[in-house]
Amino acid sequence: MGLHRLRLAAAVPVTVVSTFSSRLFLKPGLFSPHLQPRSKPLLVRAFSASAAVQDIPATQPQWKASIDFKWIRDNKEAVEINIKNRNSNANLDAVLELYENMVNLQKEVERLREERNNVAKKMKGKLEPSERERLVVEGKTLKESLVSLEEDLVKLKDELQHVAQSIPNMTHPHVPVGGEDSSAVRKEVGCRRKFSFPIKDHLQLGKDLDLIDFDSAAEVSGSKFFYLKNEAVLLEMALLNWTLSQVMKKGYTPLTTPEIVRSSIVEKCGFQPRGDNTQV
């Protein structure tokens, strides 16, 4: 049996990982492929998305995440450390300030609603004309104040969502912090094979067997990208087909999806672009 390694990669933002080696990687931000179980719906709690930190425009967010602001407030130190470890530019102080303002405004709205209800109850009984007139004026004033405060509350909630969606997911405590050099081998299965001849790495093997083209991929996509060629393509397809056949036995439905997605969907998946993108 060959050597198989389970590695826990460092806590840096990751969106897509693809590997055909015998190593298994656990990376933050890695989502399951486009497969859905037939028996149970897939529930995803999105906690982070790309957002500006300062000078937030008063625009309605494309979606609203289920963010536990109370937990963030009560665990401020841990969240701050996680933001630093994930190399995020999230503004935690701005989030907490907006949350506190929202809570206070919510309390004020609830107080005015209670006063308005009390006024409405008083007007149901027998009253002197002057008293009824006074209550009518008071009720009208409360209604106008409520309309204004409720509009402010909606805007404040939108701004809070817009800023808070930049906070990254909490990293598992066992994930090492740093770059690729900080990755830790968690487990080794089997034994390392010994060869009676000088061995080649996958890069050299791919070039010698005409299976990998780095030069063409570098021109199109940048450094460290590659094209698979010839038998390597057939091997990849075979692995994909085998994997699909296995998960379908577990009740999953295979899907092929469009290659262009709305930005709001990308954000819901926790993808945080590092710059302005014209296409995703």
DSSP-assigned states of every residue in 114-149: HHHHHHHHHTTS---HHHHHHHHHHHHHHHHHHHHH
Give the strand pairing for 212-213 and 184-189: unpaired
Determine if the pTM surpasses 0.95. no
CA 180 centroid distance within chain? 22
Closest CA to 160 of 58, 279, 42, 35: 58
Residue 55, pLDDT > 80, answer no
Q: Cα(102)–Cα(275) distance, rounded to whole angstroms?
A: 30
Residue 99, pLDDT > 80, answer yes
Placement of tokens 């209550």 in the chain: 135
Closest CA to 185 of 21, 11, 9: 9
Determine if residue 65 is left, alpha or beta; phi over 0 gives left, psi from -120 to 50 gives alpha, anything else beta.
beta
Band of the pLDDT at 122, cuts 50, 70, 90? confident
Q: Cα(129)–Cα(124) distance, rounded to whole angstroms?
A: 13
Per-residue pLDDT tens over the stretch 133-155: 888 888 888 888 888 999 999 99
Q: Supply the DSSP symbol for 207.
A: H
Residue 17, pLDDT > 70, answer no
C-alpha distance across the termini of the chain, in Å:
41
Query: DSSP readout, 218-251?
Result: HHHH-TT--EE-THHHHHHHHHHHHHHHHHHHTT
Q: Supply the DSSP symbol for 178.
A: S
More confidently predicted of 179 and 245: 245
Per-residue pLDDT tens over the stretch 162-216: 899 889 889 998 888 888 888 888 899 999 889 999 999 998 999 999 999 999 9
Placement of tokens 């060629």 in the chain: 229
- Determine phi and psi for 6, rounding to 5 degrees: -110, 115
Identify any residues that bridge with 4 across adjacent strands, giving them in sequence order: 189
Residue 90 contacts by C-beta under 8 Å, 6 or more apart in sequence?
51, 53, 83, 166, 167, 168
Band of the pLDDT at 273, cuts 50, 70, 90? low
